[in-house]
Amino acid sequence: MTPSPAAEAVMEGWRAGRPAAALMGEFSAGKSSLLNLVLGDEGALPAGAVATNLPPVWMTCGPRPAARVLRRDGRLAPSSLDEVLEAADPEVLAVRLEHPAPALERIDLIDTPGISDPRRDAAALRFLTPYLDFVLWCTAAEQAWRRSEARFWQAMPAALRVRSHLVVTRMDLMASPRDRAKVLARLRAETARDFAAVLPLATPDAARAREGGDAALWASSGGEALEDALEAAVAAAEDAARRRADPTGPGPEAGTAGEDGEAGGEGRPLDVAALLSRRKNEQPWDHLERMNVQLTGQEGVSTSRRAVLAAIARPVPRDAADWPRAMVQLERELTDHARDAWHVLQDGPGPADPERQNRRLGGRDHVEH
């Protein structure tokens, strides 16, 4: 569906308020469960909202649940999800749904219809891509990353793909550790150039862990890794939103010295080759740990970008299947950081800012440690 200029202006206004991310995937891939986990609300969307004729639901923070429909001609009208489902009006482009979930205070989340026909559905959802900072693509572990998923994803803009995450749902249904390892190794090999990270998730376990404050289960379920990845992605998107709103600042003015004593503007370039170069007899996991330390202390990198790079360079289990993937992804991120202005972000509020310090999605840590 092609939106009118008036509808595009409405969505641009929505996007100007805060960053936006979409949940995508085929039918029954666990998108609704993931959305409920992120929002901390099992009833965030009505049960009927999985119907095929429901348009994208653009969720934003509001004092109470309230919905409006955006028509292709740009008109907005109060409605409800039940009314949208019943009417099945092809002129409805999207539903704007306000919800009081704390996670929505920092980012809008867009729930999209399940994918059935890759070509048709990719064309139908392409209108959303200019307004997205990243995507959480859900793939079910039992049949992970089918050809139809890959075809759909390749139709999305490359700049969006590399900022997005592949969430492997239903990991709790794979009882064998060997099977889980094989699936993840295949996915990391097949999608290394199409996603920022592959995130295995046992959603029911993660939900129980967060509700009960079980830190060990939160980590083993994949909830902790998902939260870390979202935190880094949201922080980067917030910085990007600030730069869109005010391209001239904040940060050192061009031609003046920044904190590292060099000319300001976009920060000191990273020496990618030096960071990626392994020392003689240095084990891969030791190399990753050394890079983690170097990136964490890199003065020329913004807080949000440093979080992304450090998360990738975080020491991984000493396992031959993991470190090559981490190195490939890190090389791509470092190269993009050096070449693309989107990746070289200036800091807004620093770590000491009380509104930024130790913030997690939802405004608090989900699990007590």
Coil, helix or strand at residue 123: helix
Please give the Cα distance from 269 to 301 (Å, whole number). Answer: 8
136-186 pLDDT, tens digit each: 999 999 999 999 999 999 989 888 998 999 999 999 999 899 999 999 999
Provide DSSP, 33-55: HHHHHHHT-TTSS-GGGG-TT--
Please give the Cα distance from 127 to 10 (Å, whole number). Answer: 13
- Taking residues 194-212, report their average pLDDT: 94
Nearest to 244 by CA among 104, 94, 130: 130
| Residue 315, pLDDT above cutoff 70 | no
Q: Quick count: other Cβ atoms within 10 Å of Cβ 214?
A: 18
| Residue 122, pLDDT above cutoff 80 | no
pTM of the model: 0.69
The alpha carbon of residue 330 and the mean position of all alpha carbons in its chain are separated, in whole angstroms, by 17
pLDDT on residue 256 = 31
pLDDT on residue 32 = 86
Nearest to 207 by CA among 27, 29, 33: 33
- Taking residues 220-245, report their average pLDDT: 87
- 125, 155 in Cβ contact below 8 A? no
- Residue 271 φ/ψ region, left for φ over 0, alpha for ψ in the -120 to 50 degree band, beta for the rest: beta
CA distances from 58 to 8, 36, 48, 232 (A): 14, 14, 16, 21
CA distances from 46 to 41, 51, 53, 160 (A): 11, 10, 14, 29
Per the prediction, the chain carries an average pLDDT of: 76
| Residue 110, pLDDT above cutoff 60 | yes
| Residue 298, pLDDT above cutoff 60 | no
- Taking residues 294-308, report their average pLDDT: 58
| Residue 2, pLDDT above cutoff 70 | yes
Side by side, the strands of the sheet bearing 197-200 are 76-79, 66-71, 92-99, 57-61, 108-111, 20-25, 134-140, 165-169, 197-200
